[in-house]
Amino acid sequence: MGEPIGIIGAGITGLAIAHVLSSNHKVTIIARDLPGDLGLNWASPWAGAVFHPQHAASKPQQKMQIDAFNFYWSRAHRDPSSGVKLYPMTEYRDDFADDSKLWYKNLMPDYRVLASSELPTGVKFGVKYTTLAMNPLLLLPWLKKDLDGKGVKFLRAEIGSFDEARRLIGATVIVNASGVGARKLAQDEAVRPIRGQTMFVKSNFEELVMREGSEYTYVIPRMGSGGVIMGGIKSDRLDAEVDVELKNGILKRVNRITNGAFKDLDVSSVTDIVGFRPGRKGGLRVEREGDIVHAYGVEGAGYIYSFGVAEKVRELIDIDTIKAKL
């Protein structure tokens, strides 16, 4: 068994890193919020959690997304209790004319370009493929139970410094998967929370539909819940107050991309969700700095990158450990 590792943060990124490292290391996760908690101060329970590949990605970032896809694909086929399920996806864009920029066209099963007759008004381009959506309220506890069985320890605490984490955990190497907390812990002024507001709607709608470009709109079925998540919006606001006008705007946009599937919905009957994504100007940071390995800054793409980030963290830890022994 390798050296003990401490992980700060029990969101999807921290849990994924623990999953990957636990086969060769003694791992302890230390976090203010743990799977099962529903506070608004962490993003993972409230995410839409669909595997929607990020087209603007470097080659290493594409590799991370592929690693994450392979993990979820395996879980969906092997253990439905994990909260991961396959769904048909329709992706609309008004900023592309073709799929030349979509690196994932050879990754996603059943991929096909839509004919112009299949596109809603105002949409220039669209594709269909099979992808995965995760119910965080099932997946996060499932991962914790799995990690408990692997001997991973969980410690509930709010950490003010990496040195404090080392003292509490007794590990030299610390993985910083603290999300928005990295602004203070890593003294990274580029980190900031990104406000999201969505709606949970009771429905038997079983398709993923998304539009990007001039707007950001989606419908995501939530496995085992009897409903869907509708969104979306990104905002610099830091309050948790529900914007009623925004709810009507989301519904209007959703109906445009679903051919009016929710035209009779009364927005006063929905469950409102406000959460804060861990954003970072400059994007994802996965790098080693001495005995600290940073893994944060994915904003709303935590589930898309999670297990790929974990594989990169393992590489950074194991390669440097081998070098230190030479």
The pLDDT tens digits along the chain (326 residues) read 678 999 999 999 999 999 999 999 999 999 999 999 988 778 899 888 999 999 999 999 999 999 999 999 999 999 999 999 999 999 999 999 999 999 999 999 999 999 999 999 889 999 999 999 999 999 999 999 999 999 999 999 999 999 999 999 999 999 999 999 999 999 999 999 988 899 999 999 999 999 999 999 999 999 999 999 999 877 777 788 888 889 999 999 999 999 999 999 999 999 999 888 899 999 999 999 999 999 999 998 999 999 999 999 999 999 755 454 44
Rounded Cα gap, residues 139 and 185, in angstroms: 27
Distance in angstroms between the alpha carbons of the first and the last residue of the chain: 18
Rounded Cα gap, residues 323 and 311, in angstroms: 18
In a domain, 233, yes or no: no
Q: For residue 27, what are its two tokens?
A: 């791992």
Domain of 298, in residue numbers: 1-49+135-190+281-326
In a domain, 305, yes or no: yes
| Cα–Cα separations (whole angstroms), residue 218 to 6, 197, 254, 270 | 36, 12, 7, 16
In a domain, 63, yes or no: no
In a domain, 313, yes or no: yes
In this structure, what CATH number is given to the domain that contains residue 21? Answer: 3.40.50.720
In a domain, 221, yes or no: no
The model's pTM is 0.94
Look at the chain and report how many structural domains it folds into: 1
In a domain, 251, yes or no: no
In a domain, 181, yes or no: yes
In a domain, 22, yes or no: yes
Those residues whose C-beta lies under 8 Å from the C-beta of residue 101, and which sit 6 or more positions away, are 55
3-state secondary structure the chain: CCCCEEEECCCHHHHHHHHHHCCCCCEEEEECCCCCCCCCCCCHHHCCCECCCCCCCCHHHHHHHHHHHHHHHHHHHHCHHHCEEEEEEEEEECCCCCCCCCHHHHCCCCCEECCHHHCCCCCCEEEEEEEEEECHHHHHHHHHHHHHHCCCEEEECCCCCHHHHHHHHCCCEEEECCHHHHHHHCCCCCEEEEEEEEEEEECCCCCEEEEECCCCEEEEEECCCCEEEEECCCECCCCCCCCHHHHHHHHHHHHHHCCCCCCCCCHHHCEEEEEEEEEECCCCEEEEECCEEEEECCHHHHHHHHHHHHHHHHHHHHHHHHHHHC
